[in-house]
Structure 1
Amino acid sequence: MTSKRALAAGLVVVLLWASAFPAIRVAAPELGPVGLSAVRLIVAAVALLALAPTTRIRLPERRDLALIVGAAFFGMTAYQLLLNTGELFVPAGTASIIVAAAPLVSVGIAALAFSERVSRIRLIGSAVAIGGVCAVCLARAGLSLTSAVWIIVAAMIVQGIYHPLSRVLLRRYSATEVATYAMIAGTVMTIPFVPIDWPQLVSASSGAWLAAAYLGLLPSALGFVLWGYAVARMPVVASTSLLYLVPAVAVMISFVWLGEIPLPSELIGGVVVIMGVAAVSQGDRIMTRISRPGRRLPPTPHRGRTASRRRSVPSLPRHGGDRSGG
Structure 2
Amino acid sequence: MHARHFGQLILLSALWGASFPFIRIASPAFGPWGLAGLRCALAAAVLAAIMRTVGEQWPPRAAWPRLALLSLLTIALPFVLFNAAGLVLPAGYSAILNATVPLFSMLGAAAMSEERLTARRLAGCLLGFIGVALLVRLGPVDAGTGVVLAALACTAASACYGVGAILMKRAMLTHQPLAASAAAHVAATAILLVPLGLSVPAMRPTAEAVLAVAVLGTVTSGLMYWVSMRLLREIPATAATSSALMIPLFGVTWGGLFLREPVTLGMLPGALLVLAATALITGFNPLRRRRGRAG
TM-score category (smaller protein)? 0.7 to 0.9
Per the alignment, residue 158 of structure 2 pairs with 156
CA distance in 2, matches of 1:238, 1:123: 12
Q: Is the 8 A contact 1:175 1:224 kept in 2?
A: no
Give the C-alpha shift of residue 196 in structure 1: 4.5
Task: For 1:93 and 1:262, locate their aligned partners in 2 and report how far apart those are by CA, in whole Å.
Answer: 14
The range that moved more, 234-243 or 204-213, is 234-243
**Mapped pair 1:253 → 2:231:** no
* Cα offsets for 1:154-202 (capped at 9, x unmatched): 111111111101000011122222211211111111112124422232x
Structure 2 partner of 1:193: 195
TM superposition shift of 1:119:
1.7
Is contact 2:71–2:188 with CA below 8 Å preserved after alignment? yes
1:270 offset after TM fit, Å? Answer: 7.7
Distance 1:179 1:87 in 2: 25
Corresponding residue number in structure 1 for 2:51? 52
Tell me how far apart the structure 2 counterparts of residues 7 and 273 of structure 1 sit (CA, whole Å).
Answer: 13
Distance (whole Å) between structure 1 residues aligned to residue 122 and residue 242 of structure 2: 19
- The answer for the alignment partner of 1:15 in structure 2 is 14
Total equivalences in the alignment: 285
Aligned counterpart for 2:174 among listed residues 172, 175, 178: 172
SS of the equivalent of 1:140 reads coil
Q: Residue 307 of structure 1 corresponds to which residue in structure 2?
A: none
1:274 to 1:85, Cα distance in 2 relative to 1, 3 A: farther
Alignment of 1:240-319 (within 5 A): 244-258=245-259, 275-276=276-277, 278-282=279-283
- Give, as a single letter, the amino acid of the residue that structure 2 aligns with 1:252: T
Q: Which structure has the larger Rg?
A: 1
Mapped partners of 1:235, 1:210: distance in 2? 34
**Alpha carbons 2:132, 2:249 under 8 Å: kept:** no
Distance 2:73 2:239 in 1: 26
* Superposed displacement of residue 73, structure 1: 0.3
Question: Once the 2 structures are TM-superposed, how far is the Cα of residue 105 of structure 1 from its aligned partner?
Answer: 0.7
| TM superposition score normalised by structure 1 | 0.71
2:148 counterpart residue number: 146
- Label 1:276 to 1:195 Cα distance change in 2 as closer, same or farther (>3 A): same
1:111 maps to: 110
Cα displacement (A) at 1:245: 3.8
Structure 1 residues 38-64: Cα deviation after superposition (integer angstroms, max 9, x where no partner): 111101101111111234432323443
Tell me what 2:220 maps to: 219
Mean Cα displacement is larger for which, 126-135 or 90-99? 126-135
The runs of 5 or more residues in structure 1 that have no matched partner are: 298-326
Sequence identity, in percent?
26
- Unpaired runs of 5+ residues, structure 2, are none
Change (3 A) 1:261 1:32: farther
Would you say the 8 A contact 1:176–1:224 is kept in 2? no
